[in-house]
Amino acid sequence: MMKLKNISWEIWLLIIIVLEIVLFGLFNSRMFNLNVLLYGTNDFIYIAFLAVPLTMIIVSGGIDLSFGSVVGLCAISLGVLYKSDMPFYLAVIVTFIIGASCGLINALLIILTGVNPLVITLGTMYLYSGAALLISGTAGATGYEGISDFPAYVDSIANGAALGIPLPIIYFIGFVFIFYIVLHRLNFGRSIFFIGQNLRASRYSTINVNRITLISYMLMGISSAAVALMLVSYFGSARSDLGSSFLMPVITAAVLGGANIYGGSGSILGSALAAFLIGYLQQGLQMVGVSTEMSNAVSGGLLICVLIVKSVSHYSDTIMHYLKKSFRHVNREIKGSNEHVYKEQ
């Protein structure tokens, strides 16, 4: 029989996703509809897009709290650039440059100041969100509608499909594959794990810690720009608040996916699956008529249960050893008690 610890965390996450789909499907059969499962991902797949590069940063021992603000800044910048008569393709290129620049600023501040990335990115989170609001106000796009009237083909970027599969899912498969190769198959990724496990030793080795930090945070910025482009396409408008609700879900997905918040371990595939687990949970709760407040409570409870399962699977040998030891101790006490009774008789 396969031991619990031999089952990878990614398999556990996949099992839980299937179980929650089955559970919600028993209450609402629409959950079993393949189209509902596929096109329902449009509401949460952007969380997965951000959780994947964030995992790489967390594995290195860092953190980034500013990605939501970068999404908003890139989205409104894309709208303003296009409205300034810049060709859309060129506006997209500039938007990606803005995203990469935000990541570069984060990395340079972390490297040059030596301050904890949590503090640095907390500050840049407000910096980028403030810049987005400033640009939005200057462009007169402070309302809910934002900047719209993009070319017709922009709508198909996030709302199109190929072979019956939504394009964002196809993008995401390629996206996960690339980051999986980078983190789990290349020397660059192995260096990230080593940095997260022992930063001091990494600095005295041949690993260029600063270069890896720069690349990691720039990839986070580029990914945020990609999400901004897809969200502009999905909603049909560019707004400064498009990434405002992503912070906690993305961090939760990365940590639930197996990333150690202290660095040194994590999984790209795990973070991707965790994002889908959270997304389908929210979708299923809405389909069975659960209120938003109760949905949040259930989501938190499920996350705790999942983490307990993860701990049990990781320490299964220790738990079994303790149970066997306790059982032997109880048996000895019962045997001794019986022998004592027998002698008295």
Task: List pLDDT tens digits, range 191-241.
Answer: 999 999 999 999 888 899 999 999 999 999 999 999 999 999 999 999 999
**pLDDT of the residue at 285:** 86
Structure confidence at residue 129 as a pLDDT band (50, 70, 90): very high
Question: Rounded to 5 degrees, what angle do the CA atoms 302, 61, 183 make?
Answer: 85
**292 neighbors 68 (Cβ within 8 angstroms):** no
User: pLDDT tens across 32-44, in order?
Assistant: 999 989 999 988 9
**pLDDT of the residue at 155:** 92
**pLDDT of the residue at 6:** 55
CA 234 to chain CA centroid, nearest Å: 20
Question: Rounded to 5 degrees, what angle do the CA atoms 215, 219, 221 make?
Answer: 120
Average pLDDT over residues 137-144: 73
Q: What is the mean pLDDT of the chain?
A: 87
Alpha-carbon span 313 to 333, nearest angstrom: 30
**pLDDT of the residue at 2:** 46
- Structure token pair of residue 92: 């997209």
Q: Which residues contact 139 (CB under 8 A, 6 or more apart)?
A: 76, 79, 80, 83, 147
**pLDDT of the residue at 249:** 87
**pLDDT of the residue at 28:** 87
Alpha-carbon span 76 to 136, nearest angstrom: 6
User: pLDDT tens across 7-21, in order?
Assistant: 688 998 999 899 999
Q: For the whole model, what pTM was predicted? A: 0.87
**68 neighbors 222 (Cβ within 8 angstroms):** no
Residue 58 pLDDT > 90, yes or no? yes
Alpha-carbon span 226 to 75, nearest angstrom: 9
Residue 187 pLDDT > 80, yes or no? yes
Average pLDDT over residues 49-54: 97
